[in-house]
Amino acid sequence: MSEKKEPGVWEGFKAFLMRGNVVDLAVAVVIGAAFTNIVNSVVKGVINPLVGAFGTKDLDHYHSCLKSPCEMNAAGEVSKGIPIMWGSVLSAVLSFVITAAVVYFLMVLPMAKYLAKVAARRAAKEGTQEIVELSELEVLKEIRDALLAQRDAGQSGPGQGSGQAGPGQDGPEQGGPGHGER
C-alpha cells in the first residue's frame, strides 16, 4: 500500500497565500490605507473648517465636572476634580460620522450606481435571450398539448375509453411510446 504524503509546511503556506480571499484582503488593506489619506484630507481641509465656522474646531477641551473643582495643569492633565470629557467623545463621533459620509458619498454610492448600470446592461442582453428561449418553450408546450389532445381524442372512440390500448397504440402498462414493440 502506498502512503499519501501530507503537504509540507511550505506548500501549505504557498496555498494559503494564493487563495483569492487572502490576496483580495491584502489589496483592500493597501487601498484602504491610501484612501484613508484622501478621507483625512477632506475632513481636515473641508469639513473641519465648515464646522469651525459655526463653533470651534477643537471639541476636546469641552468637559463637565463630576466632582468640583476641576483643575488642569499646563500639560492638559487633570490635577483636581473628576472631569467628564464629553467633548472628546463628541469629536470622535462627529469624526466617525463625517468619515463614513465621505466614504459613502465619494466611494460606495458611485460604485453602486456603476455596478447597477453594468447589471442592467447584462440583464438586458440576457433578457432578449430569455424571451427567445421562452417563446421556443411556449411553442413546444403548445405542440405537446396539441399532440396530447389529439391522442386523447383518438382514444375516446367506441370501446377504447376503458384504458386499453387500441391497435398500434402503446398501453399504459408498457411504459409509453417506443416501449411496446421490439
Please report which residue ranges of the chain form alpha helices under DSSP H. 9-18, 20-42, 48-54, 86-103, 109-155
Residue type, 135: S
Q: What is the pLDDT of residue 132?
A: 63
Kindly report the pTM of this predicted structure: 0.43
Q: What is the pLDDT of residue 114?
A: 92
Beta pairing, strands 78-84 & 64-72: antiparallel
Q: Which residue, chain included where needed, has cell 483569492?
A: 20
**39 CB neighbour count, 10 Å cutoff:** 19
Contact 81, 67 (CB under 8 A): yes
Q: What is the pLDDT along the chain (182 residues), one digit of tens a residue?
A: 555 667 788 888 887 777 767 777 887 888 888 888 887 787 778 777 777 777 766 677 777 887 778 787 777 677 777 878 888 888 788 778 877 887 788 878 898 899 999 998 888 887 766 666 667 778 888 899 999 999 888 776 555 544 444 444 554 444 445 444 44
Rounded to whole angstroms, the Cα distance separating 94 from 96 reads 5
Q: What is the pLDDT of residue 128?
A: 67
Partners of residue 166 on adjacent β-strands: none
Counting every residue written for the chain, the total comes to 182
